[in-house]
Amino acid sequence: MAIEEQEPLFDAPIPGMSLTHELGARPWQSPAQFTTVDEAIDYYMDRMATEEFMEQAVDVLEMGVPITTVANTMQMSGVMEGKHSIDVGMLVIPLLMEMLMLIAETEGIDYDSGLTEEKPETTKDAMINKVRVEMKSRIDEVQEEPEDAVTEEEEDVSFGLMSRRK
């Protein structure tokens, strides 16, 4: 079994961070506005059907942001705003993804669904290797070029009008 190297998570909340405000002061600590999945679906479908949302979604997807990330961010903001609970949010995510895909395909843009299995370490290593090989070949080219240039200059000097006679 391969041991995965975990990167340290620096953006995690510090212990006791949730106690810096009194209980109930945050929207997600109050009862949710939409308690059922159906209500949450209606809320999101109404929002996503607007022209303004579609334009923004297309811009974000064109930039290469995966649909999984957009959908998760949307439901997370819904939880933070106190619109629905996190359980309802989890149930709604696949529907949000399907709707985002429909919007992207209606607008005819290429998008990243985020459904392919990610192997970030492999990708990073592959990219680093690719860049390393490319840099090495460029360095080799640069090192070879000056020698030729110098020899050409030496040859040119002998053909000038004011050049020294041999």
Partner 1 sequence: MLINPARQLYLNMDIDKIEEQQQAPSTGLLAPKRMMKNVAEDKVEQPAFRVAKHMKLLRQQREMLKNGN
> What sections of 17-85 are H helices per DSSP?
37-48, 51-62, 67-80
* Residue 54 binding partner 1, by CB under 8 A: no
Query: Amino acid letter at 42?
Result: D
Q: Which is nearer to partner 1, 10 or 159 (CB)?
A: 10
Q: How far is the CB of 29 from partner 1 (least distance, A)?
A: 22
Segment near partner 1 (CB under 8 A), from 14-22, 67-75, 139-147, 149-157? 67-75
Q: Which is nearer to partner 1, 56 or 69 (CB)?
A: 69
Segment near partner 1 (CB under 8 A), from 14-22, 96-104, 132-140, 151-159? 96-104
* Residue 37 binding partner 1, by CB under 8 A: yes
In the block, tokens 């620096």 appear at: 10
Spatial distance between the Cα atoms of 75 and 93, rounded to a whole number of angstroms: 7
* Residue 125 binding partner 1, by CB under 8 A: no
Gyration radius of the chain's alpha carbons: 29
Copy the structure tokens of residue 4: 């995965």
Q: Which is nearer to partner 1, 54 or 101 (CB)?
A: 101
Spatial distance between the Cα atoms of 66 and 120, rounded to a whole number of angstroms: 14
